[in-house]
Amino acid sequence: MAKFKGIIEVDIARCKGCNLCAVACPFDLIQLSHQVNHNGYNYAVQVDATRCTGCSSCGIMCPDGCITVYRTKE
């Protein structure tokens, strides 16, 4: 099983697909999904959590408060 240092959770229903989280991620771990949510937006997904450090850049940048960032204590 992979070891996570950080991971994000996207509130898909609120996401407007602005892509600013993807731009903010220092490791390019976020992309817009090909699927759309009920508002028709291509919502953000973390495509690779293995390299996420839980730095919170995506969450801080997300205008709609859709991203919760988790990080392990160690």
Residue 48 CB, shortest distance to another protein, in Å, is 13
User: What 3-state class would DSSP assign to 60?
Assistant: helix
Taking only Cα atoms into account, the Rg of the chain, rounded to an integer number of angstroms, comes to: 12
- The H or E element containing residue 36 is strand 30-36
The least CB distance from residue 12 to another protein, in Å, is: 12
Catalog residues that contact another protein under the rule CB under 8 A.
Answer: 1-4, 6-7, 9, 11, 13-14, 16-20, 23-24, 41, 49, 54, 56-57, 59-61, 63-73
Least Cβ distance, residue 60 to another protein (angstroms): 5
Q: List CB contacts of 74: < 8 A, sequence separation 6 or more.
A: none
